[in-house]
Amino acid sequence: MNYIVLDLEWNQASDKHNRDFGLPFEILEIGAVKLNRKMKVVDNFDEIIKPQIYHTIHYITTKIINMDKEDLKKGRPFPEVMEDFLKWCGKDYVFCIWGTLDLTELQRNMVYYGMDELSSGPLMYFDIQKFFSMTYEDGKTRRALEWAVDYLNIDKDIPFHRAYSDAYYTAKVFKIIDDYKPEIEKYVSYDVFMVPQNKRQEVHVNFKTYSKYISREFDDKNAAIEDKAVNSTKCYLCGRNAKKLIKWFSVNGKHYFCLAYCKKHGYLKGKVRMKKADDGKVYVIKTLKLVGDDVALQIREKQDKLRLQRMEKRHLKKEREN
């Protein structure tokens, strides 16, 4: 297996009237570094793409990357470059990117041009930005690539903010992390551009400190939260059903929380994020995490606060009606 450390540069409409809603971000450049299982660089990929949709470079893009119209004229159309890139990747590989956006936009560009999908469901990848935070910080903070390069004292021998150079630095950061903490690779991420279409494509994955579930599509939020798999609070360490102390409740219509208790391992905090699919339906990303008494109390207080707010709203509504 090889690691494909990928970075993209893209452009967007110069104003909202010229935006193509099927392709809000058009890829201008693909850069990648191929690492083997021993984290040795075995090949590089660097291609400019000739724009077909947005021919004027957005001012934000101009600020970030050192590229002009003459550079873009030398490029080839996206489908040609993408076919060559996939051949270059080979058959057995995992994508590695800095952050969460590149694979979504890569797949969106592929669909726009009628190319075959990379995956029929969620696509597994390594988020090196997350790996950096989990290794050197709190696991939540997200740093810029250059910040991480400086932190690790990596020589900055080529300029940043071109696809290949950012892939080059991401590969260097990844190698240092993997050499220091190889078990980090267990903490995979999933790009959900392709939402699961059935139960077989759903994602159920247990990590050391939490579990994640990515559901198929549902017609609406009510159907989602009432589904047995979404509703479940099974302990990810022992597999037992944890008793719900506080049933799922909504904070803002997008985020739901619950509190459960496993007799063997203690309190479990459940969090559900409702996501809208392109067809208007919804799917769910659920996490379950073991927490202490302090977090359990926070969840109780959050529910009590919401309950009180709703009571006050109903009271005010009655007063207005009377």
pLDDT (tens digit, 9 = 90+) per residue, 32-41?
A: 999 999 999 9
Q: What is the pTM of this model?
A: 0.89
Question: pLDDT value at position 40?
Answer: 97
Segment holding 27, helix H or strand E: strand 26-35
Check if the beta carbon of residue 53 is closer than 8 Å to that of residue 29.
no
Quick check: 202 pLDDT over 70? yes
Per-residue H/E/C for 43-92: EEEEEEECCCCCCCCCHHHHHHCCCCHHHHHCCECHHHHHHHHHHHHCCC
Alpha helices in 90-227, H assignment, sequence order: 102-112, 128-136, 145-151, 163-180, 221-225
Quick check: 67 pLDDT over 70? no
In the chain, residues under CATH classification 3.30.420.10 are 2-186
pLDDT (tens digit, 9 = 90+) per residue, 259-302?
A: 999 999 999 999 999 999 988 999 999 999 999 999 999 999 99
Mean pLDDT of 83-111: 97
User: Which residue type does 152 have?
Assistant: L
Confidence label for 12 from pLDDT (cuts 50, 70 and 90): confident
Distance CA 158, CA 188 (A): 29
Euclidean distance between the first and final Cα of the chain, in Å? 70
Distance CA 55, CA 11 (A): 9
Residue 16: helix, strand or coil by DSSP? Answer: helix
Quick check: 66 pLDDT over 90? no
Question: pLDDT value at position 62?
Answer: 55
Distance CA 150, CA 137 (A): 15
The CA–CA distances, whole Å, from 208 to 16, 61, 212, 244, 274 equal: 45, 39, 11, 22, 24
Distance CA 246, CA 319 (A): 31
pLDDT (tens digit, 9 = 90+) per residue, 147-184?
A: 999 999 999 999 888 999 999 999 999 999 999 999 99
pLDDT (tens digit, 9 = 90+) per residue, 117-135?
A: 999 999 999 999 999 999 9
Confidence label for 314 from pLDDT (cuts 50, 70 and 90): confident
Question: pLDDT value at position 220?
Answer: 95
Q: What are phi and psi of 201, to 5 degrees?
A: -90, -10
pLDDT (tens digit, 9 = 90+) per residue, 220-249?
A: 999 999 999 999 999 999 999 999 999 999
Quick check: 65 pLDDT over 60? yes
Quick check: 322 pLDDT over 90? no
Mean pLDDT of 14-32: 79
Average pLDDT, the chain: 91
Question: pLDDT value at position 100?
Answer: 96
CATH tag, 2-186: 3.30.420.10
Tally of CA atoms within 13 A in the half-sphere of 54 that contains its CB? 26
Confidence label for 54 from pLDDT (cuts 50, 70 and 90): confident
Confidence label for 60 from pLDDT (cuts 50, 70 and 90): low
Question: pLDDT value at position 213?
Answer: 98
